[in-house]
Chain A
Amino acid sequence: MKNEKPPILQAVNIRRTFPGVVALGGVSLDLFPGEVHALVGENGAGKSTLIKVICGALAPDSGELFFQGREVRWSTPVTARAQGMVTVHQEAELFPTLSVAENMALAAGLPLRRAGLVDWNRVHRQARETVRQIGERIDVRQPASRLSVAHRQMIQVAAAILQNARVVVLDEPTSALSGEEARWLFQQIARLKADGAGILYISHRQEEIFRLADRITVLRDGLKVWTRSRQSAGPEEMIEAMVGRPASTLGAAPSGQEGSPAVKEGPARFQVSGFTDRGDRFRQIDLEAGSGEIVGIYGLVGAGRSEFARAVFGLRPAEGLVRIDGSRRRIDRPREALKAGIAYVPEDRLSQGLCLGLPVRSNAVLSTLRRWTRGLLASRSREQQATRQVAGRLEVRYRSTEQPVQQLSGGNQQKVVLGRWLLAQPRVLILDEPTRGVDVGAKAEIHRHLRHLAREGCAILLISSELPEVLEHSDRMVVFREGEIAGEFDPRRASPAEVAALALPRQRAGEASAAESLSPGSRFQGRSFNELALLLCVAGLGLWLTVSTEGFSLLNLLTHASLWAILGLAAASVIVGRGIDISIGSMVALSAASTAMVLKLPYSAELLIPLAILAGLLAGTAAGVLNAVLALLGGLHPIVVTLGTLTIYRGLVIAMLGGKPMTGLPPEFGRLAIDPATGFRGAVVVAALAVLLVYLWMSHTRSGRHVYALGSAPRAAGLLGLSKSRLWPVTFGLGGLLAGLAGVLQLSMGQQMQARLGAGWELSAIAVAVIGGVSITGGRGTVLGVVLGALLLRLVNSALVRWGVSDQQTDLVVGSLILAALLLDLAWRGWKR
């Protein structure tokens, strides 16, 4: 090694095992300043585990990590990042409901002001600076879900540069970039190099590796095969090392050497004309494929090829003609495609292809179930028979038809998906990236089967972003670019450079999407719209009631709304972090009962009241924390846990009351919430204080923002070291505390404790949160929204009373309100799209 400087990052003998698997069996790696070090290996070789260990998302079982000469043990990726160790993960690792700016800042730790609150000005300023760096116009306040994938990655890289990173780990950074954008990335890498940063570069693309890397390390089966300089390693040696056998024995199907069978006379097996996507991802596609023909479709990610395939299969609305064997077919949903003889192997095996928890059999026969039924009844033995037959044909390696498909390797899983469609005996087979993440051996087998299928008369559309795959395995190929067919080639004669050049977008892909995201009205999108609408409703109704109703008291309204706002916040604080607590009503009762018990002690009221309140709040908090602990320790869904504790807490309340309601509480206690003498409303003051504190916590502290991050994307949060086990006790505890506060207030207002107090309130609490715009799937919702939701609910109630509708119809109103809120939200989202 000609490098005299000490390595900036050094991993020594890193071991990490998962139950039953040795992911890393003692791997060492070093990275020098100003170096690009490529890390390659097949899927499952241990690359991602190694990255996770290096960036602090995973603790190794043994081994040492040195960063800038000192041994380190990262506690979380955030601490690693703060010291200049930046990791840009593959796509998806992003918090879709958080703003672009917050996404950029979260990884490095949100900047704080002196008071310990998040410095949002700085967050936004830094974000704008980063965006300028890329030379794009992006609104940093919009939710990140509205960024294009390319933008997401460019922003992360840009942020790393601005942050003056010492080590940058790039995990498949170009998988979603267009040619232009990739060039930008390479420039940035050169810049980082010049600044003396070390770059660990993970990629599947050979061209990139040999263009960028100074040294290459190959991993296989959790072990390092070798590390060599680029000059001393050739592409063939690298593949050999990755696969573990000479590349020449892989038996890639020789392309078209059998010659494509003579295309039959008459109409093409598959033909589309004037095919246009309703969402404008592709336009005016004319394409045909004959029986026995493999048509390759090459294009970059985002060129519209996957959308085209999905539309043909009826998963996306599109216009235009589809003809199968000359007869016109209308395809609006997958079942119609299936009937027409079209099959589709989707691009993402794990999320779109397989039901991972179900057996091989269920996955294999899922689309052809009718064929294996006997009369009306499904027959497991016939399903097994079919599975065995097709699995045998495709040489799937599995142990039993009842084995969960998640236990198979990537290549075998992909064969199961392929087998599912073979059982359907398709006339047209569309494959979208059929060999992505499949090891080299299985890849060759899959290609062989495709050729075989074609020979049996199937028309095959092979979509891929790997140019060699398309060139080698298709009879004819077309290039997709920006939603149109840019050209057609004979793969045997086409030059790769020519094809690749044609696939590059003419206009920078980024500009189109940037223009999209800055469309007029973007300011009012999302939550601010929701709050605005709520505010208008509340103001309008409130005004109308004040003017039209004699004796309408705003103060009374606020007093009642206080309780509901607190309950709504109790539900919201849990839901935002992707939990749910349906024991809120029982916790209210538990805290009220605890308060009442203390108040009944034979001491003076002045002494007892503070103690009693404390007891109530403590009881609520403890109950909330217990919910979280049970859910985490038992590995249970929070609905199940809180369904249990709902009963348990209620039982405790009944036991505490001994079967009789508790009355005769000290009058001083009653005056806390509403003082009839002075008209002072303690309830409103307390609620306002609680709202303010919860707001500060949720919007202006790191831990509050971490809860949002967890709710928004748990996996991405995990990479930042945020987990349920750290945050749920806090959110559930806060929920319990607020429920406890509501219990104390209710007791003070009602002056009586009975066993059914608070029964069913959990649902109203969730209703307030949902009306206030809290997303039930987590990560979205604001304190202001919840407060407005509570106000709206009370106002509508008052309005109903004004109209002479009886008080009993609250349920009707609550129900309609939630539905209206949900449907509005749905319509709004649909319209935006």
Chain B
Amino acid sequence: MSRLERVSAGADTVLPGRRSNHHIFGLLPWVLLALALLLVFSQVRRPALLVEVWVPWIEVGVLAFVMTAIILTGGIDLSVGSMVALTGMVQAVLWQDWGWSIQAAAGGALLAGALAGGLNGLLVVAGLSPLVATLATMALYRGLAITVAGGDRITGFPQSFLDMGRLLGIPSQFWLAGLVFLGMVLLVHHSRFGRWCFAMGDNRQAARFAAVPVNKVEGVLYTINGLVAASVAVLGAMRHDAAIPDAHIGTELQVIACVVVGGTLITGGRGSVLRSLLGLAVISHLDVGLQFLSSRLVWLTAESRLIAIGILLILVAVWNQRSQKEG
């Protein structure tokens, strides 16, 4: 296969499993994943435990699938973590202080998420840099999350609500992740909307000149992000029986890390949702695997895990860059 064709395969981002794996460099994340998996499963005696350990990473993944689309358009949303915390608090306050039923309160949380995401979208459409605009709302939403209940956590949700935290014995987060993943794959790779996202990320002005409704695309994506953040918050409340105002601090960085390790270009125009799943798999396996190992290996402490993940992030990013560049 000639170099040119390889480049075109790399640029054509629909399904890496189908096209980019011609490229030997593209295999690196898979290899790492396999190694990490080996690490994990050689250590586990009770797989059920594994599922529980994985829930926080699954939440990150749900957010990463939507973030992929946003980054593809050349945007970014730093406020996801804050939106999860805020919508969680909104639900709890609606239920506890306003006397709403827990279902109605969950609906209220989703609405709040859509509003928060919509505001992000509005700011971006108005012409603010997404990085700065969502940096501002990140602080703003966090502040609101702390303010609505005076900084306290709220617990004691009804049992019927907590019972929904599992479906068929599996934490609901997994079901949500499946749903969001499928939805985003369809939206990004198999719809007109997704084609628009790629065009915007590659050259926003040219997209506008080609009659792509750039404002609509951005508005919709950021709103979806708010909605999904709210779903994560509602499911989180079921799981922990608590709404915590300072939950999910730093989640945005983990989310972005998954997207980047997957190989989506941080400047947009190139990438895929499946790749972000890959990124999530690599990072989470490494983290969970090392966590398991650390009970045995004394030197494998929390800090060496952090350092390992940081180094991994940079290495994989460099690798992706090298294998996608040329031309």
> Which chain A residues have a beta carbon within 8 Å of chain B's beta carbons?
315, 333-335, 337-338, 344, 346, 351-359, 362, 365-367, 369-370, 373, 376-378, 380, 399-400, 402-404, 406-407, 420, 580, 582, 630, 634-637, 639-641, 643-655, 659, 759-760, 763, 766-767, 770, 776-777, 806, 808-816, 818-819, 822-823, 826
Contacts and interface: CB of A to CB of B under 8 A. Distances in A.
Contacts of B49: none
Nearest to A373: B192
B306 A776 contact: no
Nearest to B11: A404
30 contacts: A315-B208, A334-B208, A351-B206, A352-B205, A354-B203, A355-B203, A356-B202, A356-B203, A362-B198, A369-B195, A378-B190, A402-B11, A403-B8, A634-B318, A640-B313, A644-B317, A647-B307, A647-B309, A647-B313, A652-B303, A654-B306, A766-B135, A808-B151, A811-B142, A816-B136, A819-B123, A822-B128, A822-B132, A826-B127, A826-B128
A644 B256 CA distance: 11
Contact of B139 (A359, A655, A814): A814
B135 A354 contact: no
A815 B136 contact: yes
Given A634-B314, A767-B139, A822-B136, A407 B4 contact: yes
Given A635-B325, A654-B303, 5 more contacts: A315-B208, A367-B212, A380-B14, A645-B310, A767-B136
B191 A777 contact: no
B138 interface: yes
In the A-B complex, the 10 residue pairs with the smallest Cβ-Cβ separation, listed nearest first, are: A812-B143, A815-B140, A651-B306, A815-B139, A647-B310, A648-B310, A811-B143, A355-B202, A818-B136, A651-B307
Interface stretch (B59-67, B156-164, B265-273): B265-273
A400 B267 CA distance: 26
B192 A337 contact: no
A651 B305 contact: yes
B102 interface: no
A652 B307 contact: yes
B260 A812 contact: no
Name, among B141, B146, B269, B310, the residue most crowded by chain A CB atoms within 10 Å (CB to CB): B310
A809 B199 contact: no
Contact of A770 (B127, B132, B186, B202): B132
A644 B310 contact: yes
B298 interface: no
Contacts of A630: 314
B210 interface: yes
Contacts of A815: 136-143
B154 to A, nearest CB: 16
B115 interface: no
B313 A644 contact: yes
Contacts of B194: 378
Name B's interface SS: helix
Contacts of A358: 11, 198-199, 202, 269
A766 B139 CA distance: 12
Contact of A399 (B4, B128, B306, B325): B4
Given A654-B306, A760-B249, A355 B198 contact: yes
Interface string B244-266: 00000110010011001000001
A812 B207 contact: no
Contacts of A359: 8, 11-12
Contacts of A777: 129
Contacts of A647: 306-307, 309-310, 313
A643 B311 CA distance: 10
A760 B143 CA distance: 14
A816 B135 CA distance: 11
Interface residues of B, number: 79
Contacts of A648: 306-307, 310-311
A365 B210 CA distance: 10
Contacts of B127: 826
Contacts of B302: 651, 654, 659
A359 B207 CA distance: 14
Contacts of B190: 377-378
Contacts of A634: 314, 317-318, 321
A813 B129 CA distance: 20
Contacts of A406: 327
Given A338-B211, A377-B190, A630-B314, A646 B253 contact: yes
A643 B313 contact: yes
B183 interface: no
Contacts of A338: 211
B170 interface: no
Nearest to B312: A644
Nearest to B5: A400
A648 B306 CA distance: 6
Contact of B211 (A337, A377, A811): A337
B203 A402 contact: no
B7 interface: yes
Interface string B286-327: 000000000000000111111101110110011001100101
B244 to A, nearest CB: 14
A651 B290 CA distance: 14
B147 to A, nearest CB: 6
Contacts of B311: 644, 648
Interface string B188-226: 001110111011001101111111110000000000000
B282 interface: no
Given A377-B191, A378-B191, A407-B327, A818 B317 contact: no
B133 interface: yes
B58 interface: no
Contact of A635 (B203, B249, B321): B321
B191 A376 contact: yes
Nearest to B190: A377
A580 B131 CA distance: 11
A650 B270 contact: no
B9 interface: yes
Contacts of B147: 808-809, 812
A399 to B, nearest CB: 7
B168 interface: no
Given A650-B306, A818-B136, A404 B7 contact: yes
B144 interface: yes
Interface string B146-187: 110011000000000000000000000000000000000010
B24 interface: no
B48 interface: no
A818 B8 contact: no
